[in-house]
Every structure is written in C-alpha cells, then in structure tokens.
Amino acid sequence: MTPLVLVPGLMCDADVWKPLYAHWPTDLACQVIDPGARDSLTSMAKRLLEQAPERFALAGFSMGGRVALEVMRLEPKRVERLALLDTGHLPLPAGSAGAQEIAKRHALLQLARERGVRAMAAQWVQGMVKPSRLPDADLIESILQMFERRTVDTLAAQLQALIRRPDASDVLRALRVPTLIACGRDDAWAPVSQHEAMQRLARHATLRVIEDAGHMVQMERPEQTAAVMLEWLTA
C-alpha cells in the first residue's frame, strides 16, 4: 500500500490522527509531518515535500488540508491520492467578512498571550466539536493537552499563514488523482456546504459526510473516519 502522509491542523500534532490507527491495517505505513511554526502555507508545503517519500498518499485535516492543496500546486506528480478533511479552499474574504475573521483570530492569539494556550484552547474547542460532545471530559482534555504542547509563537505563525491563505480553486479543478473530501455533519467552522463547493470544482472527488461529528472528526468519530479513509486508500 502507498505510504500515507498525514498533516495536522491548526495547533494540532500527531495525536489528532492517532485515534484512527487502531482501525487501520497494521501494514499501513503512516508518517505525520508537522507544518511547524511557519507563517505561510507554501512554506509548510515545502517542508512537507522535503520530508515525504518520493511517492505517497496525502491526507490533510483543517489547516493541513490547505497545506495539502499547496503540495498539489507545487509537486502534484508525487501524490498518488489526496484526502481533504474539514477544510476549505477560498482565500480570506474581502471587506467586513475578512476583517471579522482577522479580528476573531487575533482575539484568540491575544487570549493565548494573556492567559496561556490552554485557556485559548478551552474557548476555541467550544465551537470545534459537536455540542453534545462537550461534556465528554476525556475527549476535551485530549484536545486541550494537544494544544498545550504548542507555543504562542506557533499559534501566531499558523494564524498568519491562514490569514494569508491563497485561493486553491485552480488546484481543485486540476486534480486528477483519487480524491476524498470529507467533513463532520455538524462542523460549524468548515460546514458541509463548504465541502460541497469544493467537490463542484473537483468533480471526480468523493464527498463523504461523517455523522454525529463536528470539526474534530478523527477524535470525535475515529472508527467512522478511519473507515471512510481506508475506503479511499484501497479504492
């Protein structure tokens, strides 16, 4: 089976993917490549290409999905399959909508600077899992601990990369590899409609909606997410 490269999202690390491993074949070679504290998606993509095998399947979650699209812009021939989970493709919107997004991201950064990354994560996570999962102490603590392992400098750099994100519509239109587009049914940050718009550009892509999950699909519904991805890997 083709080696699988996994890209975490904003302030996430390898642990965001770990819940899937128990549901995958033991011979599936997985490599998590961390985007790191870089302030552009292109720079993150170049870092990935330096560390990845010559040929590989690529799955990106949230910000990692945008990194994966930049990989496809830079060196598409190295990628045999592409999976985009709970992500997006459009640049920062113009006008007041863009200004509001920047203000919200800067507010999170300010909170992290004043009260620490855990306090920021505790606020951030409220909209990132399905509301009914918020009382799940084990799930929420695993997310908070993952964020705590990051620094404020990493948050600042990654937020800047997202604010400066390019339009990846042309990349989606050019895709010629087996492509999975997937998201949680209750993802409030990257809703189903956003993924439907992506599929309209990448018409051959498969769109899968994972039920009873918000943005953090791998951690909320690992068995279902793993099954969707294994179907994509083996199709």
Structure tokens at 167: 């339009």
Domain membership flag for residue 9: yes
Q: Does residue 147 sit within a domain?
A: no
Could you tell me if residue 117 is inside a domain? no
Examine residue 57 and state whether it is found in any structural domain, yes or no: yes
> Is residue 146, in this structure, part of any structural domain at all?
no
Q: Say how many domains are in the chain.
A: 1
User: Residue 211 sits in which domain range?
Assistant: 4-93+160-234
Residue 99, domain member (yes or no): no
CA-CA distance, 128 to 64, in Å (whole number)? Answer: 16
What proportion of the chain, given as a percentage, has pLDDT over 70?
Answer: 100
Distance (Å, whole) CA 4 – CA 176: 18
For residues 126 and 144, give the distance between their C-alpha atoms in angstroms, rounded to a whole number: 11
User: 106 in a domain, yes or no?
Assistant: no
CA angle 161, 123, 147 (to 5 degrees): 55
Q: pLDDT for 90-133, tens place per residue?
A: 999 999 999 999 999 999 999 999 999 999 999 999 999 999 99
CB contact at 8 A, 83 and 59:
yes
CATH number, residue 31: 3.40.50.1820
The confidence band for 172, taking pLDDT boundaries of 50, 70 and 90, is very high
Residue 164's CB is within 10 A of a number of other CB atoms, namely: 13
Residue 149, domain member (yes or no): no
